[in-house]
Structure 1
Amino acid sequence: MRSELITVRTGSRPTVRDITAEAEQFVAGSGDGLLHVFVPHATAGVAIIETGSGSDDDLLTALDAVLPTDERWRHRHGSPGHGRDHVLPAFVAPYATLPVLGGRLALGTWQSICLVDTNGDNPTRQVRFSFLAG
């Protein structure tokens, strides 16, 4: 298995950051197999969604509706409402596994690999790409 850790700047506000290009670069020329994308953080996730047409903003809006930033959370360190960031990985898993065929990601036409980060307290994140040849 081949693995690489990249650093992604997410900033100080909730964001959906497309990391498809970085994933494509990692698997380029690798043949057939599986790409595993993992975010080693307790407050971030990985989503396979359409980007650029508003779906990324819609995802953040939906997360705000389900996981509002208020004082209801028992986990209270960090910014107000930070407890919801620790619940996020139960809704947006911190990993995804994708097929790779001929050294290319086998994504659908409008699918992108996205890092979902609602925690503005950490402006940078790490993402681990692992390729398992098949």
Structure 2
Amino acid sequence: MDVMKVHVEEFTVATRAREDIVVVTEQVERVVARSGVKNGIVLIYLPHATAIVTANENEPRLREDILNKLRALFPRGAGYRHDEIDDNANAHLANLFTGFHLVMPVVGGRLRRGTWQEVMVIEMDGPRTRTIVVVVLGE
């Protein structure tokens, strides 16, 4: 009988600009490998209200398209009430509507992702140092 394992690790990444995309696939894959979990799930969680985590293709023009679409959907300086306190309401809205966590399968001891999928942190209020919490659950 296999025993359910829970493995938790955190790491940080530095973003370089107000809006930025940082690929963290390798770091997540290393956590999954160290977990010893053969089959289960991995939760990738950002304890931040102005950044996003997702999985998508790491192609330079697509990264530019992603940032441009987020800027169009959640423009800075659009009269948000929160901007009276901090000039980052658009980043909070982007986080709310796109996501601060991601769940992916672990199969055969590896992160199961599509051919072109990379785990990405999307910065909307940088540059900052962002913490990524990785929780691996399974047998």
Mark the runs of 5 or more structure 1 residues left unpaired by the alignment.
none
The answer to whether residue 28 in structure 2 is matched with residue 23 in structure 1 is yes
Give the conservation status (yes or no) of the 8 Å contact 1:44–1:89: yes
Larger Rg: 2
Aligned residues: 131
TM-score of the aligned structures, taking structure 2 as reference length: 0.88
In structure 1, the partner of 2:49 is 42
What value does the CA root-mean-square deviation take over the aligned residues? Answer: 1.4
Give the conservation status (yes or no) of the 8 Å contact 1:13–1:119: yes
| SS of structure 2 residue aligned to 1:25 | helix
In structure 2, the partner of 1:78 is 86
Mark the runs of 5 or more structure 2 residues left unpaired by the alignment.
1-5
Residue identity over aligned pairs, in percent, reads 31
Give the conservation status (yes or no) of the 8 Å contact 2:37–2:137: no
In structure 2, the partner of 1:129 is 134
Q: How far, CA to CA, are the matches of 2:62 and 2:112 in structure 1?
A: 20
In structure 2, the partner of 1:106 is 112
* 1:78 Cα deviation from its structure 2 partner: 3.4
TM-score of the aligned structures, taking structure 1 as reference length: 0.91
Q: Give the partner amino acid of 1:67.
A: F
Q: How far, CA to CA, are the matches of 1:5 and 1:91 in structure 2?
A: 24
1:64 aligned residue (71, 83, 89): 71
The answer to whether residue 94 in structure 2 is matched with residue 88 in structure 1 is yes
Question: Relative to structure 2, which stretch is displaced further, 86-95 or 104-113?
Answer: 86-95
Q: How far, CA to CA, are the matches of 2:128 and 2:86 in structure 1?
A: 13
Q: How far, CA to CA, are the matches of 1:60 and 1:89 in structure 2?
A: 13
Give the conservation status (yes or no) of the 8 Å contact 1:20–1:112: yes
Q: How far, CA to CA, are the matches of 2:29 and 2:78 in structure 1?
A: 40
1:117 aligned residue (109, 123, 126): 123
Q: Give the partner amino acid of 2:40.
A: G
* 1:127 Cα deviation from its structure 2 partner: 0.6
In structure 2, the partner of 1:11 is 16
